[in-house]
Amino acid sequence: MKNILIAILLTGFCSLNAQNFKAYQFYDQKGKEIKTDKLVKELADYDVVFFGENHNSSINHWLQLKITEALYEKKNGQLILGAEMFERDNQAQLNQYLNGKFDAKTLKDSARLWNNYATDYKPLVDFAKNKKLSFIATNIPRRYASQTAKEGIESLNKLSDKEKTYIAQLPIKVTLDTPGYLEMKAMMGDHAEGTKVMNFISAQATKDATMAESILKNIQAGKTFIHYNGNYHSKEFGGTYWYIKQKNPNLKMAVISVFESEDSELKVPSKDYIPTEFNLVIPGDMTKTF
């Protein structure tokens, strides 16, 4: 009897002091929790899926891989992968790696890979390689985005015909009506010079428009194109999503947006929360990869 009482007391003590550690929670657009199996089932019906990320979030990258693996099974391999983290003029090198003609070191030496490539993006590229999937380098070469920020978008007209193949077809429409761009302008402050602000926003637009064009050029009927990008490029249905919508409003697209929360239950944030079709809430103190 004494042992039973001790066991009961210990159980009660543990239940009072134990904490539930939650690593992530998905929600639909209406704020209802959605389990990963249902999420994958719904994603399979879309032509394009934007999986937003905080670039340094370990759980964000892990979920990108696991959802991709599950979506591959659900779609019987009918997937195309693409990412902001690879630039159009490195597509040939990426293809060489996917085809087994380049090893990991040769790819690293010949392409402009992000510093966190090995931990955060190589698993996705290797998954594509192992499953013989296309992986599209969607982004503008950074030198042209940098040129736009410094000299303005009109400077892109001076590029050679070959160089222009690496960016969206000119002219690229830049408007503050694009979700997120007005916010970007406000973040730069009232005292920032108008031309410099618009050059900075135009540089962002060159990235978004180029990624949009890259996706549109590579989509295939019956396949889901899943695109990995910084959350800012698709949140609130702006950025790359917005540019695709201007060209092809009939495509069925979904955005997975990501939000950090200090709430241990990872409930829908009460502030700065504008949901898209699917929304990932992760702990603010989640391990960072850099």
pLDDT in tens, the chain (290 residues): 545 545 544 454 444 444 678 999 999 999 999 999 999 999 999 999 999 999 999 999 999 999 999 999 999 999 999 999 999 999 999 999 999 999 999 999 999 999 999 999 999 999 999 999 999 999 999 999 999 999 999 999 999 999 999 999 999 999 998 999 988 888 887 656 678 899 999 999 999 999 999 999 999 999 999 999 999 999 999 999 999 999 999 999 999 999 999 999 999 998 989 999 999 999 999 999 99
pLDDT value for 186: 87
| Spatial contact of 228 and 252, defined as CB atoms under 8 Å apart | no
The pTM assigned to this predicted structure is: 0.91
CA 78, CA 111: separation in Å to the nearest integer?
Answer: 27
pLDDT value for 38: 98
Give the domain extent around 76: 24-283
pLDDT value for 284: 93
What are the DSSP E strand ranges found in the chain?
A: 25-28, 48-53, 79-87, 135-139, 224-230, 253-261, 278-283
User: What strand order describes the sheet that includes 25-28?
Assistant: 25-28, 278-283, 253-261, 48-53, 224-230, 79-87, 135-139
Number of folded domains that form the chain: 1
pLDDT value for 189: 74
Residue (of 49, 8, 18, 28) closest to 227 by Cα position = 49
Q: Is 17 part of a structural domain of the chain?
A: no
Q: Is 13 part of a structural domain of the chain?
A: no
Q: Is 6 part of a structural domain of the chain?
A: no
H or E, element range at 17: helix 2-17
CATH for 148? 3.40.50.11550
DSSP character at residue 253 = E
Q: Is 62 part of a structural domain of the chain?
A: yes
Residue with tokens 């979700």: 179
Q: Is 174 part of a structural domain of the chain?
A: yes
pLDDT value for 15: 46
pLDDT value for 17: 46
Q: Is 15 part of a structural domain of the chain?
A: no
Q: Is 7 part of a structural domain of the chain?
A: no
- Residue 12's Cα: distance from chain center in Å? 44
CA 18, CA 47: separation in Å to the nearest integer?
Answer: 43
pLDDT value for 84: 98
Q: Is 2 part of a structural domain of the chain?
A: no
Strand partners, 230: 53
pLDDT value for 195: 81
pLDDT value for 232: 95
SS3 63: helix
Bond prior to 269 in cis (omega within 30° of 0): no
